[in-house]
Amino acid sequence: MVAQTRGRRLSESFRKLLEGKNYIFLATINADGSPQVTPTWVDTDGEHVLINTALGRVKTENAKRDPRVAAAISPLKNPYTYTLMRGRVVEQITGKKAEDHAERMWKKYTGRSRKPVPNQKRVILKIKPDRVSTPQ
């Protein structure tokens, strides 16, 4: 099944995957054109995929240079099914909003409060999916 998502809210099934304690494998493009993949925590605002990371990380720098991304996400309880996404980073959000979001993500995935890392600044990669598909 393939769903175009441009200008629309995410499908309920994809949104639930993003809201759950599932890991997404985010692919960005390195300067030399090779892919870079990172497993990471994920969230959504209902229209975008949200990845909270630290400024200066490879995925953040890659997204500044080339905003195109791809990702795969599986339900933690059934890793043999998955959903694929292609899209682009439309905004990088820093400051208090990113710090507060990091705290929410930490609680979502660990059940505990986050211990901030000194001198580390958080950033939200706000991704607009262009194409979402479930190949099964």
What is the domain range of residue 78?
2-133
Supply the Cα-derived Rg of the chain in whole angstroms: 14
Domain count, the chain: 1
Per-residue pLDDT at 106: 94
CATH of the domain at 37: 2.30.110.10
66-84 per-position pLDDT tens digit = 999 999 999 989 988 999 9
Residue 16 sits at φ, ψ, to 5 deg, of: -65, -40
Report the alpha-carbon angle 128-130-136, nearest 5.
115
The pTM assigned to this predicted structure is: 0.90
pLDDT > 90: what percent of the chain?
80
